Amino acid sequence: MAKGASLSGFPEWLPEERVVEQQAIDTLRRIFELNGFLGIETRAVEQGSSLLKKGETSKEIYLLSRLQEVGQENDTPVEDRLGLHFDLTVPLSRYVVEHSGDVAFPFKRWQIQKVWRGERPQEGRFREFIQADIDVVGNGDLPSHYEVELPLVMVSALEALRAFGLPKATVHANNRKLSEGFYRGLGLDDIEGVLREIDKLDKIGADEVSKLLISECGATEAQAKACLELAELSASTGEELEREFRALCAKHGIEESSDAYALAAEGLSTLAMIVDEAARIRPGSVVADLKIARGLDYYTGSVYETFLDGAASLGSICSGGRYDNLATQGKKKYPGVGLSIGLSRLVSYMLHTAGAHANRQSPAAVLVAVWNEDERGEANRIAEALRSRGIATDVAPTAAKLGKQIKYADKLGIPYVWFPGQEGAGDEVKNIVTGDQEAADRTSWQPDTVYSRQTVEYGD
Amino acid sequence: MAKGASLSGFPEWLPEERVVEQQAIDTLRRIFELNGFLGIETRAVEQGSSLLKKGETSKEIYLLSRLQEVGQENDTPVEDRLGLHFDLTVPLSRYVVEHSGDVAFPFKRWQIQKVWRGERPQEGRFREFIQADIDVVGNGDLPSHYEVELPLVMVSALEALRAFGLPKATVHANNRKLSEGFYRGLGLDDIEGVLREIDKLDKIGADEVSKLLISECGATEAQAKACLELAELSASTGEELEREFRALCAKHGIEESSDAYALAAEGLSTLAMIVDEAARIRPGSVVADLKIARGLDYYTGSVYETFLDGAASLGSICSGGRYDNLATQGKKKYPGVGLSIGLSRLVSYMLHTAGAHANRQSPAAVLVAVWNEDERGEANRIAEALRSRGIATDVAPTAAKLGKQIKYADKLGIPYVWFPGQEGAGDEVKNIVTGDQEAADRTSWQPDTVYSRQTVEYGD
């Protein structure tokens, strides 16, 4: 059926796959709320002017036009049209400014929503996908302790997703001020350019990046080499980080008294605080990794990327950073720190690599059998009695032969079939997984714990 | 701030309002799952050809174009472009056909998702809003008992929403076959036309509808009068319905032996079954109301509209019906019965009329105070200990004066403030609502039940 064919880049899960996605979302929400984040949802559309504000034309925005206006939509400049949001950060910054009088600052929010990008679909890259974000936004200023706390909330969220087959996650942190100070100390000026090339390290390797630094950013061969040496630096304690960074500055002649060094030192101290504090709370969860650059130019301090052990092909699955200038209102600034999980890609990994699957397709724990259509009313009453005690219950679609009713339960993974008592006999319930059958009272029977709830398991 | 100004028709709730929406969604999902419905989510976009299939140009569809293609999008016919879905029924019929080999039939699904319509925004009519749907779809055939069970699931869902301030809901049911048989028995042929005019009764009154039936549907004055008499018929038992309908047929000379009467009798018997069965399970929840027509032409049997006591201005808040021909694949048919709640309109009513509000803005039950920034690590450890026992906990943003920290908790509605013990003293926790303060152990303390969870209340 051609018209109904799947659309490339718009993933849609089957019901049993959707259970995995829904429970992953529930899990993230639980962790975010446990940490005191407030849930919001923003409209799916933003003004073109907001979407294009940061020069994000590369984001492949989807613009809307009303069917009745087809043919005239281009009379309206793109800035005045509506487009679908391509992330949840731009909408947050607009939301905070719009509602600044109505939210308490620092404003800690979680948001799990679909975003859309008209990019060419690839393995794990979708045109419609779910992001799961947390951010904290201050009014005027924002304490730096959030730069360690937010990645740690994400670490604990990703830890909770290990129940769905995700490997251990490690946050790799860097600081823009540290990188910028170092590059300036070397005599480089095109900071954004250098960050952009360094961001390509994993993709194209050091040799190619070195060439680009020379050809695109005006670096000498020695400067390019120094930039790559900085990118090689990683550390799991603040003390190690500081020692190695000082040694690198000394090697390349960056004076500790220079303005450039002072800028780098600011970033260095925040980054050292992050790895040390993280090591105290969750050892091994956060490392300093000075090749982390992040493509987006609105980051002004800490930047984060997160990798899963043994799943390099996924790339960074949770990224973010500190942004001081994204949301402004006149002279007022709303600095923020935030991280975003690309959830659809993770769900795809859970389903297709980790073998995550629902223990059953239906939420129902019981199917009530129907002996004949005249007795459907009694089956419905049994179902109501079970539901009133919180037991999810389905009723057989038809009074087909018993084998067919059991087959329907089996296909949906419903573990129990309830047999209404006939001719004065009592009700019985059969566990169709174990084969056990027993007398049961609709007002007191409970399913065994292992069969009571729809859950997610993983592995083959 | 003009750029950040609200977009008319795109509602966006403040965090404390969002709690109401989120908990209403959670409640609906719980009821749907309790009844054995499987959750799915479909992509936000469909092909133009699907969206326009039923001649739905009046739906004011939003079409998409990629930013990079602006100016060329009209080279592509509307049928081949992507548009945002305007309901969840068209996507379901496409989903069922596309995945017919992978789902168990009858396929019972719930779906709660945003839909978009480019209509002129009005009081309670949005351009972006959430629908909450349940449908059951058969492969080839579908037993008629679902025509009573599905409205009853919605009744119990709406019953659960009374905790958010909704008044009692009553489903008004009719049957297309009954109406069509009666109109044909009168000698009328333009059945869709008559249904369309009858659908306007509540808006424009009987006199205007009568005029339209005469001018638009070729009815005589007597035929128009008979149509209006049918529309006036309502009944709360099958027996009453059958008696009144027979009397009306006799009055207007519709022979019980005619083909038209036979068609009407099919509808009559289903409708009688629905009101009687509903009366047995949930007395007063469903009435037969023969003016219910439903504008959409894909309904082939039962049709439903649901009204809230004392909230006439909301109109029907949950509508649907049986559709036998919406989803087809070659000669195969997938008949369905479904109902849809316009959730955003209900949430708007809950917030603005019923006075629904969260007991607190933050999900956190406790705020851990920070005496000075050097002791933040200890505050974080207390928070972790509480969270590990499922108690949602926030930590003070800064080591400001205690009054300011308590004010932050108060603004977010966090009921408890935790004071880390200093200089060997034990921890204490203060309920800032009651003023009670007591010694507390982070490994065992529990908030009082009334303060433990974020809940929704209503009334002023």
CATH code for the domain of A334: 3.30.930.10
Q: Please report whether residue B418 resides in a domain.
A: yes
Task: Indicate if A109 and A39 belong to the same structural domain.
Answer: yes
Looking at B228, B254, B281, which one is the last position of a domain?
B281
The encoded tokens of residue B167 equal: 């008044």
Task: Indicate if A113 and A185 belong to the same structural domain.
Answer: no
Owner of token pair 């949840």: A88
Task: Indicate if A140 and A179 belong to the same structural domain.
Answer: no
Interface A-B: count of C-beta contacts within 8 A? 238
Judge: A1–B98 Cβ closer than 8 Å, yes or no. Answer: yes
Instruction: Please state, in angstroms and rounded to a whole number, the distance separating the CA atoms of residues B370 and A138.
Output: 18
Of A11, A38, A377, the CB nearest to B361: A38
Say what the pLDDT of residue A8 is: 87
- CA geometry: angle at B422 spanning B421 and B423, to 5°? 130
Task: Indicate if A354 and A447 belong to the same structural domain.
Answer: no
Q: In sequence order, what DSSP letters do the residues of B332-347 get, joined into one string? A: EEEEEEEEEEEHHHHH
Instruction: Please state, in angstroms and rounded to a whole number, the distance separating the CA atoms of residues B171 and B155.
Output: 8
Q: Please report whether residue B221 resides in a domain.
A: yes
Measured CA distances, B30 to A87, A267, A396, A418, B249 (Å): 29, 48, 20, 21, 44
* Average confidence (pLDDT) over A344-373: 96
Say what the pLDDT of residue A25 is: 98
Say what the pLDDT of residue A291 is: 93
Task: Indicate if A213 and A336 belong to the same structural domain.
Answer: no
Q: Please report whether residue B399 resides in a domain.
A: yes
Number of domains forming the structure of chain A: 3
Task: Indicate if A123 and A234 belong to the same structural domain.
Answer: no
Say what the pLDDT of residue B125 is: 81
Judge whether B147 is closer than 8 Å to chain A, CB to CB: no
Say what the pLDDT of residue B295 is: 66
* Average confidence (pLDDT) over A396-408: 97
Whether the predicted pLDDT of A298 surpasses 90:
no
CB B386 within 8 A of CB B377: no
Judge whether A75 is closer than 8 Å to chain B, CB to CB: no
B residues 401-420 closer than 8 Å to A (CB): 408, 411-412, 414
- Which of A103-107, A180-184, A309-313, A401-405 is predicted least confidently? A309-313
CA distance A324 to chain B (A): 17
Q: Please report whether residue B277 resides in a domain.
A: yes
Annotated binding site of A for L-histidine: 87-89, 117, 131, 135, 294, 298-299
Whether the predicted pLDDT of A296 surpasses 80:
no
CB B208 within 8 A of CB B183: no
Task: Indicate if A141 and A265 belong to the same structural domain.
Answer: no
Task: Indicate if A217 and A270 belong to the same structural domain.
Answer: yes
Q: Greater confidence, B96 or A297? A: B96
Regions in chain B scoring below 70 on pLDDT: 1-5, 54-58, 295-296
ipTM of this model?
Answer: 0.95
* Average confidence (pLDDT) over A24-40: 98
Instruction: Please state, in angstroms and rounded to a whole number, the distance separating the CA atoms of residues B409 and B386.
Output: 17
Residue-wise pLDDT for A37-55, tens only, equals 999 999 999 999 888 876 5
Residue B244 lies in domain: 180-281
* Average confidence (pLDDT) over A417-444: 96
Looking at B281, B301, B336, which one is the last position of a domain?
B281
Half-sphere exposure of B182 (CA within 13 A, CB side): 31
- What is the distance, to the nearest Å, from the Cα of residue A199 to the centroid of all Cα atoms in its chain? 21
Looking at B224, B258, B281, which one is the last position of a domain?
B281
Instruction: Please state, in angstroms and rounded to a whole number, the distance separating the CA atoms of residues B39 and B139.
Output: 19
Q: Please report whether residue A191 resides in a domain.
A: yes
Residue-wise pLDDT for A168-178, tens only, equals 999 999 999 99
| CATH code at position B453 | 3.40.50.800
Task: Indicate if A154 and A28 belong to the same structural domain.
Answer: yes
Task: Indicate if A398 and A266 belong to the same structural domain.
Answer: no
